Amino acid sequence: MCETMSCGCRISQHLKLKECEGFGIQFSSSPKFLISSYIKPQLSQPTTNTIGKLLAKTSSFAFSSSSSIATSFPFISCLQSKFPREVPILEDSSFSQKDDDSEISSEGLSSIAGGIVALGKFDALHIGHRELAIQASEAGAPFLLSFVGMAEVFGWPPRAPIVAKCDRHRVLSSWAPFCNNVPPQEFLIDFASVRHLTPQQFVEKLSKELGVRGVVAGENYRFGYKAAGDASELVRLCDKYGIHAYIINSVMDKNQDTINPALRDKKERGQVSSTRVRYALSKGEINYVSELLGRQHRLILSAGRKEEFVSVENRLSAPRAYLLNLPPKDGLYGHCSLIVGDRQFSCRVLIDSAHIHIESDEKGLCFSDAYNNHRFLGIEFRS
């Protein structure tokens, strides 16, 4: 059942979700189809209907047998981390949301003025998030507006991000061909500063303080103190303050039988979500991860403490604590790429409880040079 709003948007009326304490944003940050009259119905760039053609097929090979692992990586039995449980103190290695994101500067407040902001919590930067950016780009300069410091406010335990902080610019730049050749920019707001704002106060902030021209949100987006505002309220308030509002349907996950039913909640209606990405990684289902992300999952390995790296011939081992984002489940992955600067090398990757081990037969790759001359190494999982 749909209701036509005064601004011309059509909003689905199944948006009531459980409120959470504080500002309580709840998202469908995975939109699929634009239903606002403000945006052109036909997109000039690829949309989620063509995602399947763009995905690279990936697979993983995880072995639980210790003998199989020892055969593939015979050198690992003698490796011991000096500090196996220590997390390196590097600017990109903290999994705290507060530490992982930048503070807003006064210069940043003017950079978003006149832009179109997509609203959400863009952890995974998956295909649903990308669709939000696509729709924003159809109306103007696209921005991703998200809140930082939520974990600290609510007391959530720190956890590894899906996309490393230092890798987010690369991912957003890869979206440019879908967004009229304009890569979306991120704009961060400290959650503590807006937690107690009512829905009207929040939209007023967008209009008067930030000067945004339009917003894009998913059909079950909720906002304001205790999640008091829904998509219909967002449209109404944006109309009041002279902001265009674009409400779009969720990008649905084609693998509905894959997700663990225990992970579903009242927000889970089968849409692509960061929860599903995390679940797929926990199961080592690399093909599924790639479908949700619209790209190959890339791990970032910090080379900050080079003395902790061990290289033997064509093999490299480093403490697992040096990973800056979420890896797939422990196991052996036979089809990967090691990214060293602007070069890529085929490799095999073994992840265990304490280390990540990389082995490559490619000529021209010197592991010691790789980690001595580069601050970060990238590892992509592919078929």
Q: Which residue has the higher pLDDT, 383 or 50?
A: 383
Residue 3: inside a domain: no
Can you give the pLDDT at residue 130? 97
pLDDT of 54 strictly over 80: no
Same-domain pairing of 79 and 227: no
Same-domain pairing of 363 and 214: no
Residue 280: inside a domain: no
Q: Which residue has the higher pLDDT, 77 or 207?
A: 207
Same-domain pairing of 14 and 111: yes
Can you give the pLDDT at residue 176? 98
Same-domain pairing of 146 and 128: yes
Same-domain pairing of 36 and 88: no
Same-domain pairing of 130 and 166: yes
Residue 169: inside a domain: yes
Same-domain pairing of 118 and 143: yes
Q: Which residue has the higher pLDDT, 49 or 365?
A: 365
> pLDDT confidence of 247, banded at 50, 70, 90?
very high
pLDDT tens digits along 142-188: 999 988 888 899 898 989 999 999 999 999 999 999 999 999 999 99
Query: What integer is the mean pLDDT of 266-276?
Result: 81
Same-domain pairing of 18 and 107: yes
Query: What integer is the mean pLDDT of 348-356?
Result: 97
Residue 310: inside a domain: yes
Residue 284: inside a domain: no
Query: What integer is the mean pLDDT of 42-60?
Result: 33
Residue 290: inside a domain: no
Same-domain pairing of 206 and 159: yes
Can you give the pLDDT at residue 110? 52
Same-domain pairing of 32 and 115: yes
Same-domain pairing of 249 and 339: no
Query: What integer is the mean pLDDT of 323-333?
Result: 98
CATH code, domain with 28:
3.40.50.620
Domain's final residue, options 209, 243, 274: 274
Residue 89: inside a domain: yes
Same-domain pairing of 36 and 107: yes
> pLDDT confidence of 102, banded at 50, 70, 90?
very low
Domain that holds residue 174: 9-52+95-274
Number of domains into which the chain is organized: 2
Least confident of 4-18, 299-313, 347-361: 4-18
pLDDT of 44 strictly over 90: no
Residue 32: inside a domain: yes
**What is the rounded distance in angstroms from the CA atom of residue 323 to the CA atom of residue 73?**
20
Whether the full predicted model's pTM is greater than 0.85, yes or no, is: no
Domain's final residue, options 217, 241, 274: 274
